[in-house]
Amino acid sequence: MFSKLVTIFRIPELRQKIILTMILLAVYRMGFAIPLPIIDQEVFGEAMKRMSQGSLGQIMQVVALFSASQLGNATIFGLGIMPYISASIIFQLLATVYPPLEALQKEGEAGRKKINEYTRYATVVLCLIQSYFWVTMLPRTLAPNIFLSGFDSFWNILGASLTMTAGTIFLMWLGEQIDEYGIGNGISLLIMAGIVAQMPAAGMQLLKPAFKTATPDFSLGSEAGIDRLLLLGTLFVCVILGVIAITQATRRIPIQSAKHVRGRRVLGGQRSFLPMRLNASGVMPIIFASSLLMFPMFMFNWLNSAFPNVQLWSYLSGMFSNSDRGYIYNLCYIALIFFFCYFWTGITFNPKDIANNLKDYGSFVPGYRPGARTADYLDHVMSRITYVGAAFLALIAVIPTVLAASMNIPFMIASFYGGTGLLIVVSVALDLVQKIDSHLVMRNKPGLLEAES
């Protein structure tokens, strides 16, 4: 394996792409050390410590996991890349229901460039709205004296909002530079870097109980005992292996091409396969489900504070706000994941178009007539494997909440054992390996995952 890594850096073009990508990722991380000028960082830090165990603190941790943001720190990159992701998802959904955007999408590269331009404009608008809302809510949710003395005017707040907007636009530009000049998949790499950057803090939080005394305590049965650490480490490896297996899993549909006689030669008649991914929707259902469940958290908390004598609001607020979220939250979470799995697969997978393309190229699925019968068969297969993929996503999504409740570990640590963050890290890592392998194969070099001869 070490020899393969050495081979990567011996290829000048690939070496330049990797080094440039690493430099841009370092610039991305340095931006989180530049604070907003109008915020009193000491007051902000103390308020965040008090709020970290509450519902709002948990929401900010969840958002930070899949948005490359760090709302827990008042920095110029506080919004992360989430506004750009939101704008991209909005236009991807609109392209399926809005005819002008659908026509642009079918125009090829020129149409995609136009849609990307509209996405950038929408990102600026979303950034301005989110940053202004976030800055203005700080005195109400954290501390009244969160702003520096004399810097609480409208123009100062507007300047801070524009600064955070510029930070997100800069991150969007960094992602595009990685796509064009680096190893590729820039936005996903930024999100992955933001998730991985939180792993040292999670590890310190896990080991912190062992260093409460002068002599480190890793005895059996303790809060940071060796038995507990081994159990968590084994579980972490097993979850990653399961995520890789399901992410790479496909259902291969046999495809037979028709034979063509040209002169004395018989062409075609070859057998191939149409791969259908078990998890075709990726990480989007978890993102949508977790985003929608934030609204009940805020609503029930507000109703509980407004009507403290009503036991129903107090019960629902506890179910949706506690770190050990109850079965109602988990059931809603699982139901929304199943719904969005089928919804996202329905707008991205068109069996009718696939069946028509197979018919045009003279190919067919053995045992099914080309056209409508083939489309019905593909739709039936996709519905069945989507159910399995949705069940897997639901299992991965609820692992953090179950771990946090059953093993009494902080949610930040449990989040690395499942949920959106783990899926993003694994999928981006696999995609990165495939991109590096493509460069190696072009130069007749063995891939990273190929066995050495």
pLDDT (average), residues 351-361: 85
How far, in Å, CA of 154 to CA of 160, rounded? 10
Which H or E run contains 138?
Answer: helix 109-141
| HSE toward the beta carbon, residue 45, CA cutoff 13 A | 4
Q: Nearest CA to 85 among 58, 110, 134, 120?
A: 120
- Contact 333/398 with Cβ under 8 angstroms? yes
| Gyration radius (Cα) of the chain, Å | 25
Tokens of 428: 């981006």
For 183, counting Cβ atoms within 10 Å of its Cβ (0-12 exposed, 13-18 middle, 19+ buried), the class is buried
Residue 152 contacts by C-beta under 8 Å, 6 or more apart in sequence?
38, 139
Task: Assign 363 to helix, strand or coil.
Answer: strand
Pairing verdict, β 259-262 and 265-268: antiparallel
Task: Assign 252 to helix, strand or coil.
Answer: strand
Whether residue 13 has pLDDT greater than 70: yes
- Contact 373/263 with Cβ under 8 angstroms? no
For 176, counting Cβ atoms within 10 Å of its Cβ (0-12 exposed, 13-18 middle, 19+ buried), the class is middle
For 381, counting Cβ atoms within 10 Å of its Cβ (0-12 exposed, 13-18 middle, 19+ buried), the class is middle
Whether residue 385 has pLDDT greater than 70: yes
Higher-confidence position of 16 and 443? 16
- Give the model confidence (pLDDT) of 49-103 as tens digits: 666 655 555 555 655 555 555 555 678 888 888 788 888 878 877 887 788 888 8
Domains of the chain, CATH where assigned? 1-197 (1.10.3370.10), 249-417 (1.10.3370.10)
How far, in Å, CA of 251 to CA of 275, rounded? 6
**What pLDDT does residue 23 have?**
92
Higher-confidence position of 250 and 444? 250
pLDDT (average), residues 104-129: 86
How far, in Å, CA of 202 to CA of 129, rounded? 31
- How many beta carbons lie within 10 A of that of residue 39, not counting itself? 21
